[in-house]
Amino acid sequence: MGILEIKNVSLQMDGKKILDEVSVDVWEGHIHALVGTNGAGKSTLASVIMGLEGYRDITGDLFFNGERINDLSIDARARKGISFGWQEPARFEGISIESFVSAGMKEKNKKSINAALQQVGLNPDEYLHRSVDTTLSGGERKKVELASIIAMDPPFIMLDEPDSGIDVGTLKKMAEVIKALKKKGTTILLITHSLEVLKLADHAFLMCNGTIIEKATADKIIPYFENNCIPCDHKNEPTTKGVLES
C-alpha cells in the first residue's frame, strides 16, 4: 500500500522547470531511496512533499494515506505524520537538547526523551542540558535531529543526505537506527547520492534533471553509482566525471 503517492508533480522556479511530471508511490513500512547526482531535484521533491515555502506552487497531486495534501501547511502535514530530517540541521541558540527533542512529542516525558537519545547513541546525562548550537559537531547535530524525529514517532520520515558531514561511526549508528525504525513499521525515504546509504533501502527511485528515470529494487540501481549512469533514453549525456563530483 502506498502511504505517499506523488502524481505527475511539476514545479517551476524562476522560469525553469525543476521537477517534471514526477510520479512515485512510497510503500508503507519500507525503506525507499531517492537517488541521483547533485542538482537532480531530490531535495526539491522532498521540500515539495513537506510543503516548504517556495515549493508549494506545483501542478499535479500529493496524497498521504489517501488524502490530498496539496493545500495543507507544513504544520498540518507534520500533524498527519510527515517528518523531514534536514541535510544541514538547524541550530537554535539557547534551546536545550531536551526541549528540542521533546518539541514535537504528543506526550512529553523524560523516559521517552532519554530513550530517543540513547537510540542514536547519545548519553542523556551528557546531552540533555546542552544547547543545540555551534558547540555540537555535525555528527552530534545529526543525531540530535534524528532523536527528535524518533521521539515524535511519525509514520513517515524523509532524511536528506543522512550521511552528510558525519564520520564512519556515526553513519553506522544512523544505519542501525534506520533499520530499527523500519522494523517497527516506519516508512522511510532516504534522499541521497551515496552508495552506502542506497544499500540500506529496499526500493529506489533514480532521478535525473527533475524527472524519475528508473524505479527498481535498490540492488538494480547500484550500477548507476558504479558506472556513473545507467542506459536510458534521457536527453542528458552521462557525465565523464565521478557521480559524487557532478
- Spatial distance between the Cα atoms of 2 and 88, rounded to a whole number of angstroms: 28
**Chain Cα centroid distance, residue 81:** 14
Task: Output the CA torsion 210→20→215→230 (10° steps).
Answer: -50
pLDDT at res. 187: 96
C-alpha distance from residue 10 to each of 26, 43, 65 (Å): 18, 14, 21
Binned average pLDDT, 10 residues per bin, the chain of 246 residues: 92 93 95 90 94 94 96 93 75 78 85 92 93 84 87 92 78 88 94 88 93 92 72 48 34
Closest CA to 68 of 80, 84, 54, 85: 80
- Spatial distance between the Cα atoms of 41 and 44, rounded to a whole number of angstroms: 5
pLDDT at res. 194: 83
- 231: which 3 cell numbers? 542506459
pLDDT at res. 234: 54
pLDDT at res. 193: 83
Global pTM? 0.85
Query: What ranges do the domains of the chain cover?
Result: 2-81+155-245, 91-153
Domain spanning 2-81+155-245: which superfamily? P-loop containing nucleotide triphosphate hydrolases (3.40.50.300)
pLDDT at res. 139: 81
- Spatial distance between the Cα atoms of 106 and 94, rounded to a whole number of angstroms: 23
